[in-house]
Structure 1
Amino acid sequence: MTRIVIFAKAPVPGQVKTRLIPALGADGAAELAHRMLLHTCQEALAAKVGPVELCLADHPGWTEAPPAGVTLTAQGEGDLGDRLWRAAERSGPPLLLIGADCPELDRRRLGAAADRLRGCDAFLHPAEDGGYALLGLNRLDRSLFTSIAWSTGTVARKTAERIEALDWSLHIGETLRDIDEPADLALLGASLP
């Protein structure tokens, strides 16, 4: 069984999807983040590859329970790398680390990633912005999460380089699109109910 860990911020107005606020306003950006979060949870559950965990950034104003079948955990302190490492170490491999801002990461792709991970040490779905939409791991090493320039166009490349430096087998899947900027809203189409 492969655990899916969804990394996300609580959909609180003014705190989430801030680059979309010029197009949607703070409430609209938070509502979209909420819809994408629920959609991601539903798709992760529907993939039926293993337990689903929602790992949220701490926010005292968010009290909504996760969907049935999804375990809620807190990301804790530190930069994104610290928080990802903590979640990966707690969950243990095999696991799929994903965000909640890539509606293209549907049940079919999640299931295929879990299947592919059975035959390699790591699986990566790069994102068009240079990050990654999914990092699947059968082994753990902290170097994958340290000294990374998070939220830049080099994250996926640096992660792949580090996996190769560990002499692990790596499969790179198709490049997917995150919804981060106003121009990305046109990509939503039918991918998000």
Structure 2
Amino acid sequence: MGRAPTVSGSVVVVAKCPIPGRSKTRLIPLTGVDGSAQLATAMLADVLTALTQAETEKNFDRILLYAPPTDVGKLTMENLLDRFGIPRQRTDENEASEVMSTKTYKSSKSDRKHTKSWNPDAWTLLPMSNEKINSEGDPIDHSSSKPLNLKSSYLSDILENALHRVRLRLRKLKSDGPVIFVGMDSPDIPLDELAYALEDCKRARVCPSADGGYGLLSVPYHAPADRIFAGVRWSDPLTLASQLKALTDEDVRVTVGRVMYDVDEPDDVIQLVERLQKSERRLDGNEEDQQDNLVKAPPKTVRQERTTGSCNFTIQTLQELKLWGPDGKLRGLNKESHVDDDDGTIAKQATLSTSFSTHDHVEDYGEEVLIHSYTSSAYEEGFVPSHDMAGSHSYSL
């Protein structure tokens, strides 16, 4: 027997159940109704697989925050995990926390009690809720719970609720690490960003997406859950800018990481095929190198290649849908490449009139991160970026 492993934080994948006709509807002209749901399923499976297999220097808890928060939704997600061979906890969130918080545990297969009740690499399913609760998980206002709508302002309430619940879980695990929210729409998730977020526990970290949103948000333990999502404009070109403002208004220091690529439009599929095929050529078939065995944050003076999962399920689905064309060309469409930069870290798909580099990590890569939010419209809305002496970013109206 040995001591329970130290948990350095939680990774929370925010996901809706892939349902034909309701998932990735903007891709339907390209993939068909069933195909869009199949692609959404494959991308989610790749995100979960990459995060399951990521051998970071820090241990972390894994949470799948799912909608709809019903028995059908739970069963759908359980079946998805089982279908793709992704381990899941066999206990509920509270029971699993109690097992992990015990002073000793046994990793031997012969210890059936612990191996059945807790798997450090497995996922805990957590239903979404927008109910207002406090840091102890107690309801504040029962009337605040309304039907879930991920495209409305209720997303702030959902993330606030999840942050409270996951932090309560971390306390049971005797951890004051960050809570890292990740979307389901970027199958080639940058695992090096996960390593950064787990290392830098005192600051928030955000990975922008080219449409003005973000694909990863790491929230440090001291950030006030009831205020850091207030005023965020969801499904808006100013989502990222408003999220940064909400964080810095509460004196939460922020670092900005690599661009992540959501797959929402047919053009996004083109770019995804290009990136995955380029990655395959670079690796020359060596999948082991792609996982990089131990993913860690690179030294500040060294530019590091983007480290991602293998995206095998997404590639297989693209092939089944006959979208995996030769030489980065998407079959059935004739679009020129939108990818700029050797390692695909900067996208051209949005017209960007303003860029900035962060004080810490991005300058270390020797590149500027282009953020769609900082266009002239951002200034018209009153979001004015400024740098403090420490290199964090503040946004004032």
TM-score, with structure 1 as normaliser = 0.90
Matched, 1:155 2:239: yes
List structure 1 runs of 4+ shifted beyond 6 angstroms: none
Please point out which of 195, 210, 230 is paired with 1:111.
Answer: 195
Measure, in 1, the Cα distance between the counterparts of 2:250 and 2:12. 23
Partner of 1:172: 256
CA deviations on 1:114-134 (whole Å, 9 max, x unpaired) are 22x33x321111111111100
Q: Does 1:3 align with 2:87?
A: no
Aligned to 1:40: 47
Q: Which runs of 5+ in 2 are unaligned?
A: 1-7, 88-121, 131-147, 149-153, 168-176, 277-309, 313-397
The amino acid of 1:132's aligned partner reads Y
State how far apart, in whole Å, the 2-side matches of 1:164 and 1:29 are: 37
1:140 corresponds, among 194, 216, 223, to 223
C-alpha distance 183-7 of structure 1, shift in aligned 2 (>3 A)? same
Q: Equivalents in 2 of 1:57, 1:157: separation in Å?
A: 26
Asked if residue 20 in structure 1 is aligned to residue 95 in structure 2, the reply is no
Cα deviation, residue 46, structure 1: 2.0
Quote the residue 1:81 is aligned against. 156
CA deviations on 1:9-53 (whole Å, 9 max, x unpaired) are 101111211221221112111101100111111111122441111
CA drift of 1:54 comes to 0.7
Is the Cα–Cα contact under 8 Å of residues 193 and 258 in structure 2 kept in the other structure? no
- Residue of structure 1 in register with 2:63 after alignment: 53
Q: How many residues align?
A: 191
Structure 1 residue 57: deviation in Å? 1.0
Distance of 1:106 and 1:169 partners within structure 2: 21
* Deviation string, structure 1 residues 68-91 (Cα, Å, up to 9, x no partner): 111111112442111111111111
Report if the CA contact (8 A) 1:144-1:159 is conserved.
yes
- Residue ranges of structure 1 left out of the alignment (5+ in a row): none
Task: Give the whole-Å Cα distance in 1 for the aligned partners of 2:48 and 2:240.
Answer: 23
Counterpart residue type for residue 140 of structure 1: A
Whole-Å separation in 2 of the counterparts to 1:32 and 1:133: 18
**Which structure is larger by alpha-carbon Rg, 1 or 2?**
2
After TM superposition, give the deviation of residue 60 of structure 1 in Å: 5.7
Indicate the percent of aligned positions where both proteins have the same amino acid.
29
Matched, 1:72 2:154: no
Structure 1 counterpart of 2:207: 125
Higher RCO (CA 8 Å, separation ≥ 6 residues):
1
- My pick for the range that moved more, 63-72 or 102-111, is 102-111
Which of residues 69, 74, 97 is equivalent to 2:181?
Answer: 97
